[in-house]
Amino acid sequence: MPRAIAHAKTEILAAARKVMAERGYAKLAMREVAAACGLATGTLYNYYKAKDAIVFELMLADWAAFLAALDVRIAAARAEGGGRPADPKPLLRFAFEELRVYFGTYKDVWTQMAATPYEGRSDVVRAYEPGPFVRDVAARLGGALPPPGPGSLDRATALDVIVHLFSTYASLPGYGFEFLEPAVERLLA
């Protein structure tokens, strides 16, 4: 008989994170996750209908951690600059580098999910829309950046472009913040 655990979801997610780090997303199996946290496989399915639902929850947790870290950096930059950072580049570099870590962690997940037919995805993954995530980062950064200069793009549009650039280039090897810095400077001019 499977044991009852007080914090099942927390233990399931921790086990899934460990197994995925060791074996990768493609080899992540529900029965292995269940065994790692002392559950019967059927019990695991009471919590998550598929491995993509588990991994999606891990992704959301890591995204929330990224946003929390970004909020801390924004608050510190505001405190130093009397309301707005004197130089927004360190804050933007931090956002880019954190996105690089996030995308690197889940690159094989997105590749595998993209190859999975829509019908084969769990309901939670089918409902995923990236737009709100991008807009959330842009809005957070927008509140910390200086107002646009005359004749430049409005701040919301510029930040939307910057975050899309970050999202694209952070997932590609060989492109650091330095590559994007001239474009960022022009967008914020």
Q: Per-residue pLDDT tens for 72-118?
A: 998 888 888 777 777 888 989 999 999 999 988 888 887 777 777 87
User: What per-residue confidence (pLDDT) applies to 4?
Assistant: 55
Name the residue with higher pLDDT: 113 or 173: 173
User: What per-residue confidence (pLDDT) applies to 6?
Assistant: 64
Q: What is the mean pLDDT of the chain?
A: 86
Average pLDDT over residues 136-146: 83
Interatomic CA distance for residues 33 and 13, integer angstroms: 9
User: What per-residue confidence (pLDDT) applies to 1?
Assistant: 42
The type of residue at 100 is R
Helix axes 51-81, 131-142, angle to 10 degrees: 10
Q: Convert the pLDDT of each residue in 129-140 to its tens digit.
A: 777 888 888 888
Contact 89, 181 (CB under 8 A): yes
The model's pTM is 0.83
Contact 62, 22 (CB under 8 A): no
Instruction: Tally the residues of the chain.
Output: 189
Contact 127, 91 (CB under 8 A): no
User: What per-residue confidence (pLDDT) applies to 108?
Assistant: 84
Range(s) within the chain of domains with CATH label 1.10.10.60: 1-48
- 13 pLDDT higher than 60: yes
CATH of domain 1-48: 1.10.10.60
